[in-house]
Amino acid sequence: MTELGNRLKEAREEKGMSLDDLQAATKIQKRYLTALEEGNYDVIPGKFYVRAFIKQYAEAVGLNSEELFEEFKKDIPDSYNDEVSDKLSSIKPQRELPAPASKALELLPTLLVSAGVIVVIAIIYVIVQAVMGGGNENSAEQTKTEETESKYDVSKDSPLKNENQKNADNEKSGAEDKKDDDAQKTADKKELSIKAVNSQGSSTTYEVSGADKLELEVTTTADSWVRVRDAKGTSLKEGMMKKGDSFQKNITDQDQIELRVGYAPGVEIKINGKVLSYELDPKNVMTQNITIENKKEKKSS
């Protein structure tokens, strides 16, 4: 076992994680994790993957991968040659396009396009005729209505006309009152704010404000180890969560909540249904420590 392997294994054991837990958190096969601890890099397919697996292993157990690469650079293989080889092998020679089977096949796309244009023109013609016919009917109906109103015209001072005007004014006033009420409700509604205020290493602190009640929801889209603690250090949730599992907790009365996720790309965190956007890219920092601070508004006396 190499010194690097000893360092990785000690860090894993200090975290209380088994190889199975680490496999679930990093998505790296257990036999490759064992090979890293034993320094048996020949088992791993390519030097590039050796460095990538060491980086994911280190971040999952809370070590700085860049410092490890610098300290043990003599023991870790250089991946440059493998990367060049992979890029060269990914270049495929261009193939000649097969010649059309016949002139008829060459003309087929043109014929299909022409037929489509004809169909579209026919549809537009039918729609225009229908609209014009409907317009003529509406015009005739409007003329008939105007003649009827002219025949039975209501005088300006008649009680019937005054009543109609009164009803119209009441409807307009009611609509304006409803509009004012809706505007007031919108103004009174508080908007939840989730803001990252500090980020260092694999840890980020988020401030949450703008809501009287807070509901925390943690959902896994892939297997991951998750731990949730309150400000007193009491564990609210700890252990492996399978794909599709969900954990909910009302944290309104909590000043602070701490989360640690083993595989950030597979863990979605919501507060009052609003998704918390990771400040640190989960693809680069898979294991993250997240602190949520509840900035409660002070009530005026």
Please indicate, yes or no, if residue 11 is contained in any of the structural domains: yes
CATH code at 66? 1.10.260.40
Distances (CA, A) of 56 to 49, 191, 209, 233, 278: 10, 37, 34, 27, 18
Give dist(CA 251, CA 274) in Å, integer. 14
pLDDT at 103: 63
Please indicate, yes or no, if residue 269 is contained in any of the structural domains: yes
What are the structure tokens assigned to 204, written together?
């980020």
This model's pTM is above 0.85: no
Please indicate, yes or no, if residue 94 is contained in any of the structural domains: no
Task: Write down which residue in 33, 58, 89 finishes a domain.
Answer: 89
pLDDT at 27: 95
pLDDT at 204: 78
For tokens 């980086």, the residue is: 55
Give dist(CA 137, CA 73) in Å, integer. 87
Give dist(CA 163, CA 137) in Å, integer. 31
Residue range 201-246, pLDDT digits in tens: 998 798 999 888 989 998 999 998 989 999 999 999 999 999 999 9
281 compared with 166, residue with greater pLDDT: 281
Residue range 118-139, pLDDT digits in tens: 988 989 988 878 767 655 555 5
Q: Which residues of 79-94 are buried (b: 16+ CB within 10 A; e: fewer)?
A: beebeeeeeeeeeeee
Question: What are the beta bridge partners of residue 193?
Answer: 209
Residue 74's identity, in one-letter code, is: K
Distances (CA, A) of 282 to 62, 148, 210, 241, 286: 15, 73, 27, 17, 5
Q: How many CB atoms lie within 10 A of CB 19?
A: 15
Task: Write down which residue in 89, 120, 144 finishes a domain.
Answer: 89
Per the structure, the count of domains in the chain is: 2
Please indicate, yes or no, if residue 56 is contained in any of the structural domains: yes
Please indicate, yes or no, if residue 206 is contained in any of the structural domains: yes
Please indicate, yes or no, if residue 135 is contained in any of the structural domains: no
Give dist(CA 271, CA 100) in Å, integer. 59
CB 260 within 8 A of CB 240: no
For 136, residues 6+ apart whose C-beta sits below 8 A from its C-beta are none
pLDDT at 79: 59
Please indicate, yes or no, if residue 158 is contained in any of the structural domains: no
Please indicate, yes or no, if residue 276 is contained in any of the structural domains: yes
Task: Write down which residue in 89, 114, 143 finishes a domain.
Answer: 89
Q: Taking 80 as the threshold, does the pLDDT of residue 44 lie above it?
A: yes
Provide the domain limits for residue 62. Answer: 3-89
Phi then psi for residue 226, to 5 deg, are: -135, 140
For 289, residues 6+ apart whose C-beta sits below 8 A from its C-beta are 202, 203, 204, 258, 259, 260
Give dist(CA 3, CA 54) in Å, integer. 13
Give dist(CA 175, CA 179) in Å, integer. 6
Residue range 65-118, pLDDT digits in tens: 999 999 988 878 775 444 434 443 443 434 444 444 556 667 787 888 888 889
